[in-house]
Structure 1
Amino acid sequence: MSKQKMSAGKKKNNAGNSVSVVRQAKHGGILTILFAILSFFWVSPILVVLLNSFKRKAYIFKNPFGLSNVPLSSGFEKWAHGLSKTFVGGLNYANALKKTNFVRCFGYSFFITLISVVLIVVCCSMCAWYITRVQTAGTKLIYLLCMFSMIVPFQMVMFTLSKLANILHLATPMGICIVYLGFGAGLAVFMFTGFVKSIPLEIEEAAMIDGCTPPQTFFRVIIPIMKPTLITIAILDAMWIWNDYLLPSLVLNVNKYKTIPIAVQYLKQSHGQIDWGAMMAVLVLAIVPIVIFYIAAQKYIIEGVMAGAVKG
């Protein structure tokens, strides 16, 4: 009898487990569909920009979400004929490259983004390592100042910053990289500090015993361990700097140095009637590099954030 009861109990448990698995699968499927719909709405503005970058200017506002200026109910032949009239191929992209001097603007944006990200990653990781390992009143003050910089609204300092940048001759691509280092230090130091706290001190002591100097310990031991957080900070700051308009417009000499966001704004202002097709094309060209970079390194974002926040 006891064996029969045990087998019956096992069957009930198995049945209960199978029911819970089915319920989890149903809930998982519903959540998947829900997030797929939300993702579509999130991506839809980019798709609209991409679609309209190939259209004639007259049809961008007339039917921004459609493929043809003729409804499909009028017949396929008329719809296809309207489709050929709506799109102009790569003409908008050719106009965009010509009107904005896109290659030069791309070069400035790439240089500023690359140098700024390298400065933020290297300087802030070293700062976080020093703050964590050297516990003094000075290092605590540095950490508090970095945290304070995260809560100060940019609007409070932007006009003073513009004047100060002119006085210090920072209105150049290299000069603005120093400004980006200052504004990006708060979040970077916070995340790096959280990650360094999770690294056992014994690893560094073993490196010191093997004859490594502090710089060698940092670059040969700490940096490889911090790789997820390094890539996370690099991705977040690269997207911020690449798409930023306000800070370059305040600091840079925009008559001489134009990043892509500034070039888009000048395209809107400098040619009388706005060439919306060319503007859409410039936006697509500006989006492509950062999207490729994000897709290539996206797996490190959650890993780096969790390592810096949870372990810390």
Structure 2
Amino acid sequence: MIGRRARKRLIAAEGMLLVVSVAFLYPLALALMNSLKTMNDILMNMGSLPREYVWSNYETAWNVLNFPRALLNSLLIDVFSVLGVTLISAMCAYQIVRRSGRFNRAMFGLFVASMVIPFHAIMIPLVQVLRELGMINSLHGIVFAYWGLSLAFAIFLYHGFVKALPYEIEEAALIDGASVYSVFFRIVLPLLKPITVTVVIINALWIWNDFLLPMIVLQGPDNRTIQVAINTMFGQYMKRWDVALPGIVMSLAPSVLFFLLMQRQIVEGISSGGIKG
């Protein structure tokens, strides 16, 4: 009797997961189907299969959106933003935990408190600061902005993980003559691999798919990310779905592939962080 109940619950849970999966995958399938239609077919019936597969839509989107340039901009922003956030937050969390004074505890409290501030509340001041620093309409400017916006949550994740690391290993290395930087990069940072993978994946996917910050910071056509380039296909009197949808599919491909390759690591990282934190 117990086995039958458990089997029924398992079937019900799998059914719910199937429904949720279909709900999430349907928009992606809709975008993929309509990316292969003509503009008239898209306007006539978006929910139907293509009557003819117009593969040239992808070539048109590649040229009209200047996709290679937009892809390069997105990759540069994503890579340097994630590298900076990962390194700075790991070092900061290590310093806060190992030098636990009043100042460091207060700083950690400020980092945690800043996580509840919505981006829209600081959007205008952020743009003004970037303008004063001469970083508007530049890739290094938006990378700098992503560092500031991402550090608080990354430090919070690293903080709980560093607290669980045994200090005896570091102490033995210091006694043997290793410097603080040598201890961090050779001993501590490799031990932080599970949570590092989590930080990398979360920030990489968020920055890759972000639209609002690049829209307000990167104003020149040569600095557009993929999302901003796709947005240029939608105006007050023009909506080029036959170009935008192939661009959307091409922009999703790198992030979906990255997530599929790293999904096991993110689950292990979150589990390890929750246990050790």
TM-score by length of 2: 0.95
Q: Is the 8 A contact 2:233 2:241 kept in 1?
A: no
Letter of the 1:282 counterpart:
G
**Percent of aligned pairs sharing the same letter:** 32
Where does residue 117 of structure 1 map in the other structure? 82
Q: Aligned-pair distance for 1:210? A: 3.5
Where does residue 232 of structure 1 map in the other structure? 198
Letter of the 1:236 counterpart:
I
Distance in 2, Cα, partners of 1:23 & 1:225: 42
Where does residue 23 of structure 1 map in the other structure? 5
Whether 1:43 aligns to 2:30 is no
Runs of 4 or more above 4 Å deviation: none
TM-score by length of 1: 0.84
Structure 2, unaligned runs of 5 or more: none
The one-character-per-residue Cα deviations of 1:144-171 (angstroms, maximum 9, x if unpaired) are 1211221111111111111211110112
Q: Is the 8 A contact 1:229 1:305 kept in 2?
A: yes
Which of 159, 169, 179 pairs up with 1:213? 179
Where does residue 302 of structure 1 map in the other structure? 267
Query: Could you say what secondary structure the match of 2:135 adopts?
Result: coil
Bigger relative contact order (CA 8 A; separation at least 6):
2
Match runs of 1:239-254 below 5 Å: 239-254=205-220
Distance in 2, Cα, partners of 1:162 & 1:255: 18
Where does residue 65 of structure 1 map in the other structure? 47
The one-character-per-residue Cα deviations of 1:24-71 (angstroms, maximum 9, x if unpaired) are 233112211220121111111111111111111111132212115xxx
- Answer with 1 or 2: which has the greater Rg: 1
Where does residue 134 of structure 1 map in the other structure? 99
Letter of the 2:119 counterpart:
F
Where does residue 267 of structure 1 map in the other structure? 233
Q: Is the 8 A contact 2:62 2:68 kept in 1?
A: yes
Distance in 1, Cα, partners of 2:269 & 2:111: 20
Structure 1, unaligned runs of 5 or more: 1-18, 69-82
Letter of the 1:133 counterpart:
R
Distance in 2, Cα, partners of 1:131 & 1:144: 11
The one-character-per-residue Cα deviations of 1:96-150 (angstroms, maximum 9, x if unpaired) are 1111101001100000000000000000011001101111111112211211221
Q: Is the 8 A contact 2:195 2:270 kept in 1?
A: yes
Letter of the 1:241 counterpart:
I
Which of 255, 264, 267 pairs up with 1:290? 255
Where does residue 103 of structure 1 map in the other structure? 68
Q: Aligned-pair distance for 1:181? A: 0.4
Letter of the 1:177 counterpart:
V
Whether 1:157 aligns to 2:139 is no
Q: How many aligned residue pairs are there? A: 276
Where does residue 7 of structure 1 map in the other structure? none
Distance in 1, Cα, partners of 2:189 & 2:2: 44
